[in-house]
């Protein structure tokens, strides 16, 4: 796996590629980001952003949300999918915030993950973006891209989070997640577009694909790039 120095060099390059990388969920405070992140499971950020303005107008804080009528809430969030489970999570989360934290969102991983419907990824999103506490959310893009580059070596999101955090200072954790997500959406997709990637020289997957596909001497560079674009035998 990459050394901390290599990890920081890779992150420097990706931060230059994606200077505005940030969560695409719309929010104005930790409560709103917590609600939006719960809704974003199996949904697009754009789809969540369509329902949250009305949701936040009707339920501006945890106390209001805890008192929400379940059926009305389900109808409001229906388009984000899994609406029954999400409504249950939102109601449980809001009630727990009121009961345990006087309605405020705690800036603490253990307290956040003790809330109904809040996993480690959601907690890290809220900590890192809305509460000023270093957090490194690992979603499917971070998982795939970090493994390909060689920044991590695991299928388990919590292990990948730990491996990334060990290689970077806490001040860079949240940005790391943001840029890996964008890189995964735009370039290092399930079928990676290595020809347009700025970190090929540091990428384990790219070099492995080149080794696995020796090219004819006359077209070596072009063939190696093509090989790296194909899904390889390695884990995506």
Q: Which residues are catalytic?
A: 121, 139
Q: How far is the CB of 196 from ligand SF4 (least distance, A)?
A: 8
| Residue selected from 105, 199, 224, 227 as contacting ligand SF4 according to rule CB under 6 A | 199
Helices (H) and strands (E) in the chain, counts: 13, 0
- Categorise residue 102: left if φ over 0, alpha if ψ from -120 to 50, beta otherwise: left
CA quadruple 148, 153, 155, 157: dihedral, nearest 10: -100
Name which of 58 and 201 has its Cβ closer to ligand SF4.
201
Q: Is 206 in the site for ligand SF4 (CB under 6 A)?
A: yes
What does the longest C-alpha to C-alpha distance in the chain come to? 71
Q: How far is the CB of 204 from ligand SF4 (least distance, A)?
A: 8
Q: Is 18 in the site for ligand SF4 (CB under 6 A)?
A: no
| Residue selected from 138, 176, 188, 224 as contacting ligand SF4 according to rule CB under 6 A | 188
Binding mask 110-149 for ligand SF4 (x = CB under 6 A): --------------------------------------xx
Q: How far is the CB of 13 from ligand SF4 (least distance, A)?
A: 10
Q: Up-side HSE of residue 128: CA atoms within 13 Å toward CB?
A: 24
Q: How many CB atoms are closer than 10 A to CB 217?
A: 6
Q: Is 197 in the site for ligand SF4 (CB under 6 A)?
A: yes
Query: Which stretch in 23-31, 39-47, 80-88, 194-202 sits in contact with ligand SF4 by CB under 6 A?
Result: 194-202
Q: Is 203 in the site for ligand SF4 (CB under 6 A)?
A: yes
Q: How far is the CB of 11 from ligand SF4 (least distance, A)?
A: 12
Phi, psi of 191 (to 5 degrees): -100, 105
> With helix as H, strand as E and coil as C, how does 28-88 read?
CCHHHHHHHHHHCCCCCHHHHHHHHHHHHHHCCCHHHHHCCCHHHHHHHHHHHCCHHHHHH
| Residue selected from 146, 192, 210, 224 as contacting ligand SF4 according to rule CB under 6 A | 192
Query: Which stretch in 86-94, 101-109, 152-160, 195-203 sits in contact with ligand SF4 by CB under 6 A?
Result: 195-203
- 50 and 79 Cβ atoms separated by less than 8 Å: yes
Binding site for ligand SF4 (CB under 6 A): 148-149, 187-188, 192-194, 197, 199-200, 203, 205-206, 228
């Amino acid at each position: 796996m990459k050394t901390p120095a290599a990890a920081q060099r890779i992150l420097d390059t990706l931060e230059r590629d994606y200077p505005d990388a940030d969560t695409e969920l719309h929010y104005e405070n930790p409560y709103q980001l917590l609600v939006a992140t719960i809704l974003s499971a199996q949904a697009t950020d754009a789809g969540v952003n369509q329902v949250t303005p009305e949701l936040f107008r009707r339920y501006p804080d945890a106390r209001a949300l805890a008192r929400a009528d379940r059926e009305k809430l389900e109808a409001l969030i229906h388009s984000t999918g899994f609406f029954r489970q999400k409504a249950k999570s939102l109601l449980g989360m809001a009630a727990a915030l009121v009961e345990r934290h006087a309605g405020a969102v705690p800036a603490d991983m253990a307290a956040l993950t003790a809330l109904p419907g809040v996993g480690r990824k959601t907690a890290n999103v809220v900590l890192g973006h809305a509460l000023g506490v270093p957090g490194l959310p690992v979603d499917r893009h971070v998982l795939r891209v970090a493994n390909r580059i060689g920044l991590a070596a695991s299928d388990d999101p919590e292990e990948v989070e730990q491996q990334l955090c060990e290689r970077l200072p806490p001040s860079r954790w949240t940005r790391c997640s943001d840029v890996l997500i964008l890189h995964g959406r735009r370039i290092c997709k399930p079928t990676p577009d290595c020809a347009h990637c700025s970190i090929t020289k540091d990428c384990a997957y790219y070099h492995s694909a080149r080794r696995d596909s020796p090219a004819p001497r006359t077209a070596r560079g072009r063939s190696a790039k093509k090989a790296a674009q194909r899904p390889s035998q390695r884990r995506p």
